[in-house]
Structure 1
Amino acid sequence: MPLNKLDKSKSLNRKKASPSRRKRRDDPLVWFRPEAKRWYILLSLSMIISILLFPSILTPPKAYKLGDVADRDIKASREFLVENNALTEQDRQEAVRAVLSVYDFDPTATDVVSKIKEAFQAGREYIARSLELSYSFDSGAVTSQKAISDHLEDENAFNSHFFGILNIPYNKKLINIFIRNDFSPEAEKAVIGLVTDLFNSGVVGNKVMLMSQSGKGIILHNIHDGKEDKVLDLERFYDLKTAGEFINERGKVLTRRIKPKELAKMSLELAAALIKPNLTFNKRATALRKEEARKSVKPFYFKVKKGEMLIREGGRITPEHLLKLSEQYKFLKQKEMLGRVPAMAILIAFLLSSMYFVGLFSNKSSGPEVKDLLFNAVTLVLIFLVIIAFNFVAFEVARGFHFFSPKALLFAVPVASGAMLIAIFHGIGVAASFSLIISVLACLVIDGGVEFFVYFFISSLVAAYGVRRYREGAALIKAGLKVSVCNIILALSIEALYGSFFTLEALIAFCSALIGGVLVGVVATGILPLLEMSFSYTTDIKLLELANLDKPLLRELMVQAPGSYHHSVIVSNMVEASARAVNANPVLAKVAAYYHDIGKIKKPLYFIENQRDRENKHEKLAPSMSSLILISHVKDGVELAKKNKLGKEIIDIIRQHHGTSLITFFYEKARKQGEKKGDKYFQVGEEDFRYPGPKPQTKEAGLVMLADVVEAASKTLVDPTPARIQGMVQKIVNKIFSDGQLDECELTLKDLHEIAKSFNKTLSGIFHHRVDYPEPVAKIAPANNRETVGGRKGVPAKEGKNGDTDQLPAGNSRVGKREDTGEVSESLKRLGLS
């Protein structure tokens, strides 16, 4: 029923930017924020899947050797050119052979001629010194012994100097003849002429090697001017042997011109000794020219058409096959590295973004957590690996049977398992976007068309819908059977579309579709416990296990704090019914209600529902100490929940079920004690009497908070008629709402109305009247002789006044300070009325 009045300053979903949030925006470590981590997961997942789609960039293809037998047909995936290595190498060899050898040529004999002149001039100077020494001896200027000694010393020095200049071995006969003939200018001229003529013609060290280039010629490189000439006539060059023969031929003429005969002979011998090769093979320059010629040859190619059969199964590998296969694999790897993988990663990133935004819209407050995105990513990779493995197996099996195609077996791929897992943990909305992504990726893996996309997508949606109320382990198998029925209809429709409805392949497709649905449930059942344990998720199956009242923790609560136990059971009944009315998880709400007060196990007697007729322990304590004891039961409950591994969802509800509500009884008691002391400056800090929070973040936590306070307050009703119960419920919900405790959860005003109606119905059933029997019945003491403290049945009030803001009687009770102004009494006043 609509609300009459509502303070505009109140809202159930306040989204003000807190200072801490503004601080996070200014944090320089932006790359480590949760928002950044979400995008890291998305990008990393995109790259991983892209690489899995093109695994050849990481794994080398099967290496065939010459003579191997091909294990499958291999076709050209594209049109490409293959280099004809044999023809190319043949052409290169011809180009290398055509390169002429390079010989460095020094056509001048300047250096040798200058040495000859220097040596002959030294000889003439030596003769002059000998004559001068002889004149000195004849005139008596020196003694004979001195003259002989100086002459021998000068002779030895001259011999060394002469042969050192010419760089030839010592020849005593040669030097003596030249000395006797005073180093004749005619002999000097003859030697220079012979040497010059030979050097101008060219003298080579190895003529056999030179003549190997006969018919092709050589390149004659003049080392003085750099000029190069091609020489075909290689006979014109001398080696040391033919140079000697040339000198002997010229000697016949010289012997007639030079006298005496011994001098002519020694001149020819000296000329022969001075001949050195001046035509040398340049190995480095020749090698460089051959390499340039080799590189200048363009490769020869032959074209391979797309779809051309490179090698058939069972065929022997030839060199040509190896060449073609190598070229295809090389191109594919380059193409995948440079083009396909990055492009596919971008496309997949956009697809994954859709799943992120669906999660963002599903969780309006902050978007999906990093853990949720990581869970989705891991699930996607696991299912993707299953698809890849199944695709490989299907093609290997089909290769052994030629009467059907591998496509018929692909109907058994359990693609829908991923959507089933996502639906269990994150709901159908996120599962639908996941179904879209995994269906596209599956089609890329199996190279399927639009018909397979429809097949995988619809079966995934059916699987997700089948586990929308996941309450038992068999639900996965049951959902898998539903997927089987859907798969069969889709598979037969696709076979009819192919025109092969009444064939053996259609029968195989039927069986594959049936098996595929069963595999969906089996795969999901196998992966579910692993994911649940790894990501600390709490499924309804686990919650139902925790709902067993024989659990050790609940039994301890029943023994140590029986009043709190009974209170928790009633609260669980209240929240279970109201959770269904507001589309919350009734199992989670019920189980959380069982455990929300387990912290009272440690100090049970400090809470009124466990005191019975015992003394009130709070009478001897200061209000601040009493409030600390009441507050501590939340912390103790969280520690016990963690110790017993109840799950994050239940632990959060235990922590949030009091929010930041005020323990009004002890707050007022502390304030009055200060006033009685007469200290006008005495002030009580309200924050010291509030629970630390946080406020409820989910519908289930909000339900537990409301039911907890309403159930406790219901015990104060004197005559719990439906009208009084309805008024009490309205005031309690009003108070909690006005205190802002529901600002951070997703409960709407309509939800509060439905919750109040549900509470009214449940409590009316609990406090229903029975007919009076004739026999006298013992009357129960009025309930209003107990007061509530801190949202719990905490301390009996001596003066019969009301407790804290969490529990209010239905009579003339106050609802905090705001009710005194009339603000709350008008707002939500018809809450829960039919």
Structure 2
Amino acid sequence: MAPANHFRIKMRTFLVRYVADWGIIAIVGIILYVLMIGSVLPKNPDVRLHEISSVDIQSPIDAVDTQATELKKQEAIGSTPSAYIYNKNLGLMQVEKVGDLFDTITAVKKQQKITANSSQDELNVAISKINDGLSAAPDSKIPDETLKTLLTAPDRNFQIAEDITSTSIYEAMSGKVGWNDLERVQNKAAASLPSSVLNDSMRNALTVVLRDYITANYTFDATATKRNKQEAANSVDNVTIHQGEVIVRKGELVTSDMIRQLKLVGLLDEHFNMIPFIGLFIFTAFITLVFWFEYNRFKARHEKYSLKYLYIYALVFIGTAVIIKICSYLRLTQVSGLSNIIPIALAPLLIRMLLSERMAVVSGVLLSLIGSVIFGISAKAAIFDAPMAIYMLFSALAGALVLRKRQVRPKFFQTGGIVALVNILIHLSLLMFQNAPFSLVGTGMSLIFAFLSGFLSVILANGLMPLFETGFRILSPIRLIELSNPSQPLLRKILIEAPGTYHHSVMVANLAERACEAIGANGLLARVAAYYHDIGKTKRPKFFVENQLDGINPHEKISPQLSRTIIFSHPYDGADILRQHHMPKEIIDIAEQHHGTTILRYFYVKAQELSDQPVPESEFRYPGPKVQTKEGAVVELADSIEAAVRSMKKPTPVKVQNLVKSIFNDRLSDGQFDDCDVTLKELKIVEKSIDETLRGVYHSRIEYPKDLKVKKVSEK
């Protein structure tokens, strides 16, 4: 049976520590995913081509309009002028070419001895030789009739024709001559040939030569033109439809181009797209992972792990996320700024009081990110609502950081006022950032709702705290303060039935609280636990010396063994009484453990004296258990020291110091602190703290004379 029981215990521990943990984390992730899934669901607007739109339709994303970009590039290419090259030396080159023509004709004419009377065959041979000589310049082709006219011209006329031709070509090509202007320039040059020195046949021949040698010197540059047009196209920026940009305005006629843009940004996409859902899954997984990390960090810093802390954390976190979701629908009311009333500071306030400050800050950041997605859904313009995220972030941080270290309950005016002020300032700054127009009604209402958000968060936090404390049995500072109230039934029971025990408990509480604060433990818990640690004495108050006001000690009439049984029972009777009144477990544990396994020395020695046989020491030791926490260790020490000092007849600072040191050494050597994580250094600090406190209580006093004799002044 033992191995089976051991296996069941291990399985139960495994289920609690791992399966339960991961189950809650998975539930948190699933709920968050469901709350934010609206951000990736298709938001297809109800629009039809050539109909009037009833709403403004905005782009949910940034998208590049490739078709509009391409049209813009074509416009840039079309508006870029062609590139041309101006060859100002081309005129001189053409003059040289025409000079080569006349030189070739002159050389052939001399070689063939051509005259005006030469036969046709001789002329044909000469023309053939001229063409052979001009074959090096394939771009020029002079007709045979023109060559014949030049060959048969008299030398003087030929020379004049050469000079006139060269001059006409040079003058015609001295400026920019494009292909469009070429014919006009050629005709002008031909018309300028002087008829006084040239006959008609020579003028016709020179006209042909001019038309052949006058060419364009301002020509199209294809390479440069292509390069310029490409640069113009590359300089065109992409036409982008920005997130939040209005594609279709209310009251406009829906055109085909608008339909194309709506399809481009995915508003009319009829195909199911998994990518946004995967993106939301990764985002939710990141939020859940940080949530899990912070909880594990909190769990590692607590000695006794309890799954209830995860329940509290998850419940507050998810509850606030649901509140954010509900408040996002307030925008549908069209009331200006109504969504600013969202009590986002509620979660940080509750987590700060119930768990830790760090978890409150991290939770505020995570909830702001979640809220930005949720409010982005209602905005219908973007996946994230950045202004709302900033507003919620600072409001949540104010809720997490506004409580002071020792403040146990958020004060209505103080805490609510600070959060409200932060909300107002952040909302104003966001309006200024966005250069939004201010209006008395709209802006005023937004600020009023932001102001109310702070106080609403405090009201909800104060209202929900008792529910968490009762439902999860949380020992919060508020609960401890309530338990320390003297009007509590159990404290009144001690005061009435065991007044000596009550005053002893008050002294122990003072010693324990200060000592715990000195080592960083929970001083408030130690004080309240000290109030209740001897509640078991109310069952038989007269058997405890502090309650024997009449001087009668019932232990003198009974055996040491019976006295031992009565004394031993008070920690466990007290624990039973506390359980019956549903007191916190931490206080019950300290009441049950505050004597550990110490020996009841007085009755042990008495039993030894009355017995003929040796009495085992174990019979006069408390059954335990030993203290498990630092607060329990401090209460145990304060209890035993206060009782010992109270029994001293004339306590002095030196006597008190020696007694404190003796009890500390005795408890330490007896191993009473072996089951808790208190260190020797901390015990030394506790010893010093208790010693200093007791010195303040039992300080030296002036001894006044009993009889004060006053001399009477005689009257004269």
TM-score of the superposition, structure 2-length normalised? 0.62
The equivalent position to 1:426 in structure 2, one of 341, 355, 363, is 355
How many angstroms does 1:310 deviate by? 10
- Structure 1 position 418, deviation (Å): 0.7
CA contact 2:410–2:458 (8 Å) conserved in 1: no
Q: Residue 435 of structure 1 aligns to which amino acid in structure 2?
A: G
Q: Distance in 2 between matches of 1:55 and 1:660?
A: 62
1:718 is matched with which residue?
Answer: 649
1:574–1:683 CA distance, 2 compared to 1 (3 A): closer
Q: Deviations over 1:538-582 (max 9, x none)?
A: 333333232222333222212222221121111122223333333
Report deviation, 1:650: 2.2
What is the CA-CA distance between 1:353 and the residue it aligns to? 1.7
Residue in 2 aligned with 1:493? Answer: 429
Instruction: Note the residue ranges of structure 2 that are not aligned, 5 or more in a row.
Output: 64-240, 377-383, 709-716
> Per the alignment, do residues 664 and 55 of structure 1 end up closer, same or farther by CA in structure 2, a change over 3 Å counting?
farther
Whether the 8 Å CA contact 2:375–2:388 is kept in 1: the answer is no
2:324 corresponds to: 387
Distance 1:56 1:616 in 2: 78
Q: Per-residue deviation at 1:53? A: 1.8
CA apart distance, 1:718: 3.5
CA-to-aligned-CA distance 1:268-299 (integer Å, 9 cap, x gap): xxxxxxxxxxxxxxxxxxxxxxxxxxxxxxxx
CA distance in 2 between counterparts of 1:423 and 1:308 reads 41
The residue that corresponds to 2:27 in the other structure is 44
Say whether the 8 Å CA contact 2:59–2:245 is kept in structure 1: yes
The corresponding residue for 1:705 is 636
Other-structure match for 1:730: 661
* Pairwise CA RMSD: 4.4
Q: Which residue of 2 aligns with 1:232?
A: none
Name the residue aligned to 1:346: 285
- CA deviation profile, 1:668-725 (whole Å, cap 9, x unmatched): 5556666x23xxxx6726277223225232x332222121111001123233111221
- Conserved 8 A contact 1:655-1:694: no
CA distance in 1: counterparts of 2:559 and 2:412, whole angstroms: 56
| Aligned-partner Cα distance in 2 for 1:694–1:39 | 34
Partner Cα separation in structure 2 for residue 70 and residue 24 of structure 1 = 69
Contact 1:427 1:468 in 2 (8 A): no
Residue number in structure 2 paired with 1:155: none
Measure how far apart 1:606 and its partner are. Answer: 2.0
Matches within 5 A, 1:630-641: 630-641=567-578
Q: 1:73 to 1:451 in 2, by over 3 A?
A: closer
The alignment partner of 2:486 has SS state of coil
Asked whether the equivalents of residues 561 and 601 of structure 1 are also in contact (C-alpha less than 8 Å), the reply is: yes
Distance 1:574 1:659 in 2: 19
Correspondence 1:453-532 to 2 at 5 A:
453-469=389-405, 473=409, 475-500=411-436, 510-532=447-469
1:740 and 2:671 are equivalent in the alignment = yes
Deviation at 1:350, TM superposition (A): 0.8
Q: What secondary structure, in the 3-state scheme, does the structure 1 residue paired with 2:355 have?
A: helix
Aligned counterpart, 2:509:
572
Counterpart for residue 37 of structure 2: 54
- Taking the aligned partners of 1:639 and 1:392, their CA distance within structure 2 comes to 52
Deviation at 1:428, TM superposition (A): 1.4
Do the aligned partners of residues 61 and 768 (structure 1) sit closer, same or farther apart at CA in structure 2, a change above 3 Å counting? same
> In structure 1, how many angstroms separate the alpha carbons of the residues matched to 2:300 and 2:320?
25
C-alpha distance in 1 between matches for 2:13 and 2:584 = 31
Shift of residue 587, structure 1, vs aligned partner: 2.9
Query: Do 1:70 and 1:311's aligned partners in 2 also have CA atoms closer than 8 Å?
Result: yes
1:696 aligns with 2:632: no
Q: 1:316 to 1:371 in 2, by over 3 A?
A: farther
Q: Classify 1:458/1:331 alpha carbon distance in 2 versus 1 (closer, same or farther; 3 Å).
A: same
Picking from 692, 698, 704, the partner of 1:761 is: 692
CA contact under 8 A between 1:416 and 1:460: conserved in structure 2? yes
Matching of residues 84-233 of structure 1 within 5 Å: none
Distance 2:481 2:687 in 1: 26
The aligned counterpart of 2:595 is 658
CA distance in 2, matches of 1:647, 1:542: 9
Q: Relative to structure 1, is the Cα distance of residues 309 and 484 closer, same or farther in structure 2, using a 3 angstrom cutoff? A: closer
Using the TM superposition, give the Cα deviation of residue 600 of structure 1 relative to its aligned residue in structure 2, in angstroms: 0.7
Residue 356 (structure 1) aligned with residue 295 (structure 2): yes
Query: What are the Cα deviations for residues 334-382 of structure 1, in whole angstroms up to 9, with x where unaligned?
Result: 777x63564344223211122213303432x35x521011101101111
Residue 411 of structure 2 aligns to a residue whose secondary structure is helix
For residues 71-109 of structure 1, the C-alpha deviation after alignment (integer angstroms, 9 at most, x for no partner) is 9666676899xxxxxxxxxxxxxxxxxxxxxxxxxxxxx
How far apart are residue 761 of structure 1 and its match? Answer: 2.9
Is contact 2:509–2:528 with CA below 8 Å preserved after alignment?
Answer: yes
Which amino acid letter does the alignment assign opposite residue 286 of structure 2? L
Tell me how far apart the structure 2 counterparts of residues 672 and 60 of structure 1 sit (CA, whole Å). 91
What's the secondary structure of 2:356's corresponding residue? helix
Q: Deviations over 1:456-499 (max 9, x none)?
A: 34433332232234656562542221122233333333333323
CA shift in 2, pair 1:313/1:571, >3 Å: farther
Please give the secondary structure, in 2, of the residue aligned with 1:627.
helix
Would the aligned equivalents of 1:600 and 1:633 in 2 still touch at CA under 8 Å?
A: yes
Partners of 1:657 and 1:696 within 8 A in 2: no
Kindly provide the amino acid, as one letter, of the partner of residue 686 in structure 1: S
What residue is the counterpart of 1:376 in the other structure? 313
Aligned partners of 1:333, 1:497: CA distance in 2, in Å? 35
Task: Name the aligned partner's letter for residue 370 of structure 1.
Answer: L
- The size of the alignment, in residue pairs, is 513
Q: Matches of 1:31 and 1:315 in 2, distance apart? A: 64
Q: Give the C-alpha shift of residue 49 in structure 1.
A: 1.7
Contact 1:670 1:684 in 2 (8 A): no
The one-character-per-residue Cα deviations of 1:129-179 (angstroms, maximum 9, x if unpaired) are xxxxxxxxxxxxxxxxxxxxxxxxxxxxxxxxxxxxxxxxxxxxxxxxxxx
Q: Letter of the 1:460 partner, please give it.
A: A
Alpha-carbon contact 2:375-2:385 (below 8 Å) kept: no
Cα contact 2:597–2:622 (8 A) shared by 1: yes
Note closer, same or farther for the CA distance 1:425–1:474 as it changes in structure 2 (3 Å cut).
Answer: closer
Where do 1:553-572 residues align within 5 Å?
Answer: 553-572=490-509
Residues 309 and 503 (structure 1 numbering): CA distance in 2 closer, same or farther, change over 3 Å? closer
Take 2:45 and 2:577, find their aligned partners in 1: how far apart are those partners? 61
Secondary structure of the residue that 1:557 maps to in structure 2?
helix
Paired letter, 1:496: M
Instruction: Give the deviation of 1:661 after TM superposition.
Output: 2.9
Distance (Å, rounded) in 2 between the aligned partners of 1:488 and 1:641: 48
Do the aligned residues in 2 keep the contact of 1:443 with 1:452 (CA within 8 Å)?
yes
C-alpha contact (below 8 Å) 2:590/2:627 kept by paired residues: no
Give the stretch that moved more between structures: 308-317 or 657-666. Answer: 308-317
Quote how far apart the aligned CAs of 1:420 are.
Answer: 0.8
Instruction: Rate the CA distance shift 1:26–1:471 in 2: closer, same or farther, 3 A.
Output: closer
CA distance in 1, matches of 2:596, 2:610: 27
Secondary structure class of the residue paired with 1:550: coil
Counterpart contact for 2:361–2:401, Cα < 8 Å? no
In the alignment, structure 1 segments of 5+ residues that lack a partner are 1-18, 81-303, 402-407, 778-834
**2:540, 2:495 → 1: CA distance?**
13
1: distance between equivalents of 2:340 and 2:505?
A: 50
Aligned residues with identical type, % of pairs: 30
Q: Distance in 2 between matches of 1:458 and 1:750?
A: 41
Distance in 2 (alpha carbons) for counterparts of 1:315 and 1:632: 88
